[in-house]
Amino acid sequence: MTILHIYFSQPPQLGVALSVSNLPRHLAQPSPGDWVDHYLLAGDPGEPCLHLGRTVLRGELFDLVDEQQLRLSNAGLEPGGTVSLRLPPSLGYVAVLLAAWRLGAQVSLLDHRLTEAEVARALDRLDPQLVVAAKTSGGAAMRGYTEIETVLASRPQGQAAASEHCLIQLSSGSTGPSKVIARTSDSLVRELDRYDRLPDYPRRGERVVLLASAVHVLGLVGGLLQGLHAGVQLHFPERLTGAGILQAVAAGDRPTTVLGVPFYAELLSALPGDERPERLRRMIVAGELTRPGLAQAFTARFGVPLGTMFGMTELGMIATDLTGHHYPAVEPAHGMELRVREGELLIAAPASPYLGLSDPTRWDEGWLHTRDAAAVDPATGLATILGRLDSQVAIGGLKVDLTEVERTVAAVPGVTEAVVIHDGGINAYLALRDTTAEAVQAELAQELAAYKRPRQLHVLPSLPRTATGKALRDPVALRRAVTEYAAAQHAGA
């Protein structure tokens, strides 16, 4: 294995970026690599585009990408080559990602928080020619960004790209094994166009405080790529704590949107005091259903809307409700065609998003099977996501929708997190504040029929989550969390 060290030192001299006015706004079929300059790096070289402890100008980023493109090329990466990035959120991650794309390479993204065993399994599946990882980082838990030194490792037996896809991602794995999902540059450009058409999404001259992982679709496309494309300054907070997020919002003088998962909206809503950052415009969350009452709690605390988005790694952003006026429904984004068949939400997709053989149970005849239960209002076109189809279980011959039970549990006062699964019976895993399990059971007795009520309530300080912040629903992981918490309490007794 050949090792090449890549160092990020002081910023290079300010370069000259491309001018937006001299470029076509839309390309029908972007050539490999060309779309990076046309859609992401074009603009005023003196314009602030990123903030990771310091402000990064667009021209500086352009130069960094040039530098990393040369280094990757010297290491043997060619158009049609393959590279996996295992990097924490950092300026280095952004520069290497854009440089690899500009070379026309196929990039697969691995979350830097994966274990070595998980990374080894992923690399066996992806088989890239190069791997870029962080040799060192000054990061710690709850850091929003890190300073990194990267190492590029050559894999001589790795395979070149077998398709035109530029991006490979692994699904979050919140309900089972990850899927290998592939997207083309055209797919990403079309998603950027959908964001452009949202009247309430951040525009040039505004800021986004990014809490979502830039390795996964919300933070990557909705945050990083759209920010660069639309001229929105992207701010990575130093700390992903409530105080750290508010500090990041208050640090700028532009209208600011916070982008993350519902977990962070819960965190912010629970903050004591009445501090309301003057520039906060709204928060937008995605990744999982928001619990009933969260939007009201967030607005009561900060005086601004909590918007929601529905999307998938396979297609990116699909539908939104950025004002909160349609909750729990969302409005399909421009060009997205939705239909419901036998209770399942289907979305038009011209090709399978999965790398390798197509699974006819996931995509067939131009339709992606989401495995989500949904209803679409024929009069308005608004879609309401009702939960996973596999949330339907039989209890004593009676059908129970676990999503309904979970929503009811989550709506009980004092419940801050809730997951309901069927594991030898209905079990609820929850986190509480200013209440008890007994009080929750008493409330549920008033709200749910006996056969729908959880057989057990497992109280944890917080629920285990995936790297993207989604609550885990794997029974083994949840049981392990309960066992570990009980052992910790016993040891501390």
Which whole number is the average pLDDT over 367-395?
88
Please check the confidence at residue 149 and state whether its pLDDT lies above 50. Answer: yes
Categorize the per-residue pLDDT at 225 as very low, low, confident or very high, splitting at 50, 70 and 90. Answer: very high
What does the pLDDT read at residue 193?
Answer: 97
In degrees rounded to 5, what are phi and psi of residue 202? -50, 140
Coil, helix or strand at residue 198: coil
State how far the Cα of 316 lies from the Cα of 218, in Å rounded to an integer: 7
Cα-trace Rg, the chain: 23
Angstrom distances, CA of residue 341 to CA of 129, 351, 371, 383: 41, 19, 11, 13
What does the pLDDT read at residue 17?
Answer: 37
In degrees rounded to 5, what are phi and psi of residue 264? -75, -30
State how far the Cα of 362 lies from the Cα of 380, in Å rounded to an integer: 27
Report pLDDT digits (tens) over 45-90: 999 999 999 999 999 999 999 999 999 999 999 999 999 999 999 9
Which whole number is the average pLDDT over 216-231?
97
State how far the Cα of 148 lies from the Cα of 90, in Å rounded to an integer: 7
State how far the Cα of 119 lies from the Cα of 115, in Å rounded to an integer: 6
Q: Is 43 exposed, middle or buried (0-12, 13-18, 19+ CB in 10 A)?
A: buried
CB 188 within 8 A of CB 217: no
What does the pLDDT read at residue 316?
Answer: 96
Per residue in 301-329, is it b (16+ CB within 10 Å) or e — as a string? Answer: bbebbbbbbbbbbbbbbbbbbbebebbbb
What does the pLDDT read at residue 404?
Answer: 85
Coil, helix or strand at residue 27: coil
Report pLDDT digits (tens) over 442-455: 999 999 988 899 99
Q: Which residue has the higher pLDDT, 258 or 343?
A: 258
Which whole number is the average pLDDT over 266-274?
92
What does the pLDDT read at residue 357?
Answer: 56
Please check the confidence at residue 176 and state whether its pLDDT lies above 50. Answer: no
Report pLDDT digits (tens) over 358-380: 567 788 889 999 989 899 999 99
State how far the Cα of 260 lies from the Cα of 468, in Å rounded to an integer: 9
Which whole number is the average pLDDT over 243-254?
96
Nearest C-alpha neighbor of 166 from the set 103, 85, 105: 105
What does the pLDDT read at residue 428?
Answer: 95
CB 240 within 8 A of CB 258: no
Report pLDDT digits (tens) over 275-300: 999 999 999 999 888 888 899 999 99
Q: What is the DSSP letter of 216?
A: S
What does the pLDDT read at residue 358?
Answer: 55
CB 295 within 8 A of CB 269: no
Which whole number is the average pLDDT over 168-177?
65
13-17, 91-95, 221-225, 363-367: lowest mean pLDDT where? 13-17
- What percentage of the chain has pLDDT greater than the value 70? 89
Please check the confidence at residue 39 and state whether its pLDDT lies above 60. Answer: yes
Which whole number is the average pLDDT over 96-117?
93
- What percentage of the chain has pLDDT greater than the value 90? 70
Which whole number is the average pLDDT over 40-45?
95
Which whole number is the average pLDDT over 255-280?
94
State how far the Cα of 62 lies from the Cα of 60, in Å rounded to an integer: 5
Which whole number is the average pLDDT over 191-206?
97
CA quadruple 432, 435, 438, 441: dihedral sign: negative
What beta strand segments (E) does 110-161 contain?
Answer: 130-137, 148-154
State how far the Cα of 282 lies from the Cα of 259, in Å rounded to an integer: 9
> 389's torsion region: left (phi>0), alpha (psi -120 to 50) or beta?
alpha
Categorize the per-residue pLDDT at 493 as very low, low, confident or very high, splitting at 50, 70 and 90. Answer: low
CB 300 within 8 A of CB 324: no
Please name the residues in contact with 107: beta carbons below 8 A apart, sequence gap of 6 or more. 82, 83, 84, 85, 97, 100, 101, 166, 167, 168
Please check the confidence at residue 115 and state whether its pLDDT lies above 90. Answer: no
Which whole number is the average pLDDT over 393-410?
83
Q: Which two tokens stand for residue 472?
A: 């885990």
What does the pLDDT read at residue 30?
Answer: 46
In degrees rounded to 5, what are phi and psi of residue 279? -90, -5
Categorize the per-residue pLDDT at 132 as very low, low, confident or very high, splitting at 50, 70 and 90. Answer: very high
In degrees rounded to 5, what are phi and psi of residue 34? -65, -35
Domains of the chain, CATH where assigned: 3-23+33-179 (3.40.50.980), 188-336 (3.40.50.12780), 400-492 (3.30.300.30)
State how far the Cα of 457 lies from the Cα of 459, in Å rounded to an integer: 6
